[in-house]
Amino acid sequence: MQDIIEPRKPRGPGWYCRGESPRVMQTGFTAYAWEHLPSNLYAISAVEVANRKIGPEYHVSVSMQTPFGAGRCDRNAAKFVCKAFGMEDAEEDNHVPGGVVRNFWQPVAEGLIGSECPCKATEPAISENKGDYVWRGITE
């Protein structure tokens, strides 16, 4: 399987690609699953079109693997992963209340980096964990 725009791959030591080849996620986009063995961080990297006005975006979702299953990583661990994937300017945009995964988006088109999802203007921001995790969505 060869996509026109390949998902980002991490730089630096300690990263291991889960599986021998990319897989197509339920969204229909190709994704790679990565583990950072020294820190137990887990990331899925894909290129997706979530907003037609922005076009294709690099998407990296991050979680922490614990003995009890997946858990949410803190902001510092998420920044570490974004840096490894070359996505320091990515926008965090989560839509899951109490979610475990942190989602980061960066437009492929360099001129659109920094564009915000339209949801930020219309959906209320809900903070959890003393503001370390923010998600948006309908609260009714």
Sign of CA dihedral 45, 46, 51, 53: positive
Burial class, 118, CB count within 10 angstroms (exposed 0-12 / middle 13-18 / buried 19+): exposed
Predicted TM-score (pTM) of the model is 0.86
Per-residue pLDDT of the chain (140 residues; tens, 9 = 90+): 456 888 999 999 999 987 666 666 656 778 888 999 999 999 999 999 887 888 899 999 999 998 888 999 999 999 999 999 999 999 999 988 778 999 999 999 988 888 877 777 888 888 888 888 888 875 44
Bridge-based pairing of strands 30-36 and 102-107 is unpaired
pLDDT for residue 26: 59
